[in-house]
Structure 1
Amino acid sequence: MTLIGVVFAFTGCGSASADAPNGGIESPSAPQQIVIQSPGLYPEGIEWDAKRDRFLVSSAAHGSVTAVHDDGTIDTIDAGDGLTSTLGTVIDEQRDRLLVTVADFAAVDDPNRPGEAKLAIYDLASGRRTLLVDLAGLRPGERHLANDVTVDPAGNAYVTDSFSPVIYKVTLDGQPSVVATDPRFESPKGLGLNGIEYDPRGSLLAAVAGTEKLFRVPLNEPDYPTEVRLSEPISIDGITRRSDGNIVVAAPFVPAVISLSSQDGWQSATVVGRVPVAATDSTTNTTIRDGALYAINAHFAQMNGPVPVQMFEIFRVSS
C-alpha cells in the first residue's frame, strides 16, 4: 500500500494543535500531497518555511536546494554550484537561516569514493549562501558522508557523518569541531550515523541506521553518549521533534513513518504510532506544517534505474 495521499493520526502523539502556530489547529486547507515535477531530483531532506509558505527540499543527485509551492511550482535557491549532493536540512527560525548537509551520495554505492562532509548555510530572506563549512578536514584520511543536521537555540549546528563515527559542531560564526565520537556510531552495514535532532533538555538524539539504534548525547558531557532503550529496533533516517516532546522518525528500511515517546528523558522510548509505506518508496524525512506532519518520498529505490524518476511526492501523514 502506498502512503501517498493517506492521512493518518498517530496515537499517543498529543493533539495536532500542539504543533500549530500560536496554539491554533491544523489548517483544513492544507494539501494532502504536492507533486514535484523535477526529473532526477531525489530530494532527501525537507523543511517547511512558514514565513514564506513553501517547502524546501535538498537533492541527493543535483546538490541543489529547491523551494516547492502548493501548486507544485518550484524555485531554485541554489543550483548546486560547488555542491555534489545535498541531504539533511533544518531551518534555524530564530535567525531565518537554512542549514543543509553536503555530501557525495554516490559514495554510498562506491567504496572507492572518499565522500564529502560539508555544511551549507543560507540566508532565507535573500536566498544567498553565506557559508560553506568543510568538516571532512577534521578527520583526514577517513571516508565521509555528511548526512543530517540540527541546530540548538544558540545557533550551533550539529552534523552527523555516516562514514566516520563523529558528530560535528559548527558555531554560529562557522567554526567547525568534533563534538562527539564513539565506536558505537559505526555500522558493519556501511551507513552509521544518520538522523539527528536537538532535545531542549540539552542533548542530541542521534540515530545509527545500520545497527538500528538511537543514542542520546548530552552536550554537557558529549564524550558519554548513552543508547536509548527502544521498544523495538528501528533503522532511523530523519528525525522530527514535535512540540509535545515526541519524535517522528522516517524509517525507510521498515518501511514506515514511526512516532516515538519517552517518559524518562530519552533513556528509553516506545513506539506509539506507525504508518506503513510501500516498499518501493523511500520516505527519508519529515517536517511539520501548521501542526500537520508531511514527509518526502525520495524514490531512492529507483535511483539507479534506466530512466530517472520524473516526479517526487510531498505527502501529509498526520492530522
Structure 2
Amino acid sequence: MKTTKMTKTNNKANRTAAKKSLLVAALAGTLALGAAAPAPALAGAGGPAGGARISTAFTLPGAKVYPEGIAADPRTRTVYVGSYADGTVYRARPGRAEAEVFLPSGTDGRHTANGLRVDALGRLWVTDSTAGVAVYDTATGTRLAHFEVAAGTAARFVNDLTITPDGTAYLTDSIRGVIYRVTPRQLAAGSGVLTEAYDLTPALRPRPAGAFRLNGITSDRAGRYLLTVDMTAGDLYRVDLRTGAVRRVALTGGDLKAADGLDLAPDGTLRVAHNVTNTLTRWQLGADGTRAGLTRTVTDPSLQIPTTLAHVPGRTLVVRSQFDKGGPMNPGTGTPTTFTVASVRGL
C-alpha cells in the first residue's frame, strides 16, 4: 500500500512538472516573439487604455491561482474561471465581488483548467491540457462525461474549445496542431477517446522549437465554420464544417501574434486577447468568415497577461493571468497581486 501510494505521488509530481515545463517553453517562445514585435498602437483617445474603461469585475480567492480560462452562462449570468496552476474551477455569481470555488483542485484527477465553455443545456466543459476534457452539471458539480487523448500520445496540450449550435465540441491541441471533436452522441455515451477531426499541420507555417501553434478557437452561430489562431505565426484559420476545407483568413490592419482567447459575436465582431503584449483587439469578419479587418486595439499593463475573454452584454470579461509573476511564464520570480477578472467597456 505504501509503495502504491508513493508511486501515485511521484507520477502526479512528474506529470505536474512536465505540464509546467511544457508551458514555460512554449510561452518563452511566444514572449520572445512578442518582445521583438513593435508595440501595438493604441486606438482611440482618453488614457493608456485608448479610451476603453478597464476595471475589476471580481476577484479570485487564492495566492497561486494563475487563471487561464473563462466561460459565461447567459441563462444565469454566472461566470466560471479555471486555474492553470492546479485545475480549480471558480464560480462568480451575479453581483458578487469575489468568486467561490466550484470544483476544487484535483477534482476527478484534473491537473489544469484551460478552456471553459457552457453549452446550450447549461453544462460546463473544462479542458485539462494534460489529458482532455470533462463535462459537469453546473447545478451539482457532478461530472457527466470525460474524453481523453488516445493513450500513447506523448506530446499534447489540449487548450481551448468551442461548441457549435448542434452541440458538437471542438478542441485545439497547441502542440499537435489538430482539432479534436466530441459529438452529442459521444457525449451521451459518457466517456471515450478524443476524436481527431481536423489536422491543420499542412496549412500551418513552420514554428520555432517549443512554440505553441493552435490556441483559441471559436465558431459562428450558424454552425458553418470554426476559427482558430496560430499564436506564434499570428495567423487566423477558417475550417469549413461542411467540407473540412482549411484556409488562412485574410487579415487587414494587423496580425494575431501572441493571440490566446477568441470571442465571436453574432454580428461578426471578433474579440481577441493577446497575452504577452497585454493587448486586446477587435476585428470585423466578412460575411463568409474568410477575411477580417482590425477595428480597435487596446493595450494596457493593467491587463496583466490576458489569456482569454468572454463578451457579455455591455462589457468584456478578461482573465488577468499574471503568468509572469512567479507563474508558468516566469516560475520562481515575482510575486502576484490579488488575482482578478477585468471588466473592459469600449472594446
TM-score class, shorter-chain normalisation, is 0.7 to 0.9
What residue in structure 2 maps to residue 59 of structure 1? Answer: 83
What residue in structure 2 maps to residue 109 of structure 1? Answer: none
Distance 1:179 1:33, change over 3 A: same
SS of the aligned residue for 1:153 comes to: coil
What residue in structure 1 maps to residue 23 of structure 2? Answer: none
Q: Does 1:233 align with 2:251?
A: no
Give per-residue Cα distances to partners, 1:172-211, cap 9 Å, x unaligned.
2335311100223463252011000011341000101111
Displacement after TM superposition at 1:306 (Å): 4.5
Displacement after TM superposition at 1:146 (Å): 0.4
What residue in structure 2 maps to residue 132 of structure 1? Answer: 146
What residue in structure 1 maps to residue 231 of structure 2? Answer: 209
Distance 1:220 1:53, change over 3 A: closer
Quick one: which amino acid aligns to residue 219 of structure 1? L
SS of the aligned residue for 2:172 comes to: strand
Q: Does 1:188 align with 2:208?
A: yes
1:160-309 to 2 correspondence within 5 Å? 160-172=172-184, 173-174=186-187, 176-183=194-201, 184-185=203-204, 187-189=207-209, 190-201=211-222, 202-222=224-244, 224-231=245-252, 232-235=254-257, 236-278=259-301, 281-302=304-325, 303=327, 304-306=331-333, 309=336
Displacement after TM superposition at 1:7 (Å): 9.4
Q: Higher helix share goes to which structure?
A: 2
Note if contact 2:217-2:261 (Cα within 8 Å) is conserved in structure 1: yes
Cα distance in 2 for partners of 1:247, 1:136 equals: 32
Note if contact 2:59-2:99 (Cα within 8 Å) is conserved in structure 1: no
Which TM-score applies when normalising by structure 1? 0.80
Structure number with the bigger relative contact order (C-alpha 8 A, sep ≥ 6) is 1
Quick one: which amino acid aligns to residue 309 of structure 1? P
What residue in structure 2 maps to residue 42 of structure 1? Answer: 66
User: Larger C-alpha radius of gyration, 1 or 2?
Assistant: 2
Find the partner of 1:86 among 95, 103, 113.
113
Distance 1:117 1:207, change over 3 A: farther
Find the partner of 1:145 among 147, 157, 167.
157
Note if contact 1:296-1:314 (Cα within 8 Å) is conserved in structure 2: yes
Cα distance in 2 for partners of 1:134, 1:210 equals: 26
Which TM-score applies when normalising by structure 2? 0.74
What residue in structure 2 maps to residue 28 of structure 1? Answer: none
Quick one: which amino acid aligns to residue 244 of structure 1? D
Cα distance in 2 for partners of 1:32, 1:41 equals: 16
Quick one: which amino acid aligns to residue 198 of structure 2? A
Compute the RMSD of aligned alpha carbons. 2.5
Quick one: which amino acid aligns to residue 60 of structure 1? Y
Note the residue ranges of structure 1 that are not aligned, 5 or more in a row. 11-30, 104-115
What residue in structure 2 maps to residue 74 of structure 1? Answer: 100
Quick one: which amino acid aligns to residue 147 of structure 2? V
Displacement after TM superposition at 1:259 (Å): 0.5
Give per-residue Cα distances to partners, 1:126-156, cap 9 Å, x unaligned.
221211211244xx44400000000011111
Displacement after TM superposition at 1:310 (Å): 4.8
Displacement after TM superposition at 1:308 (Å): 5.6
Note if contact 2:303-2:342 (Cα within 8 Å) is conserved in structure 1: no
Q: Would you identify which runs of 4 or more consecutive aligned residues in structure 1 move more than 6 Å?
A: none
Q: Give the share of equivalent positions with the same residue, in percent.
A: 25
More deviation in 75-84 or 151-160? 75-84
